[in-house]
Amino acid sequence: MPMGSNNVDTPTLLTGSIESSSDVAYADIDDEDRKVIAENLDAIAPELTAGTTIEDLTLPWLNAISGNSGTLSKLDASSLGETGCVSFETTANTIAGIKLYSGTACRDVVKKFAVTTLSVADA
């Protein structure tokens, strides 16, 4: 659909900055799942020192409300000191199936992580 189209029936995600039902990662892993992922990152925060990459660590997560689960892996804290963010990969076992995602979580003003980006990764 070209820019400026009058087609209001087909949603288009142009920037990725606002969650949309047409955004696959947001549709599969909702805000509550993202909070669970962030809480798991908070639990290992002391191990995430700036400049480290923890390739061999796997960290399971489970959202008891949605039933979704997954495993965090390939944690990269190399930019933690500069940006307060870590990158990671996670699987997600949802009603839509099992997929692999790449994501970033950043610390807020009280040093708690929040998932800021999440996208379907190439397996």
Average pLDDT, the chain: 81
* pLDDT at position 33 over 80: yes
Each domain of the chain, given as residue ranges in start order, spans 24-120
Tokens read off for 42: 């908070």
CA-to-CA distance for 67 and 22, rounded, in angstroms? Answer: 22
Task: State the pTM of this model.
Answer: 0.76
CA-to-CA distance for 67 and 104, rounded, in angstroms? Answer: 22
Render pLDDT for 11-21 as a digit per residue (tens, 0 to 9).
444 455 555 44
Render pLDDT for 44-92 as a digit per residue (tens, 0 to 9).
888 877 566 677 789 999 999 999 999 999 999 888 888 999 999 999 9
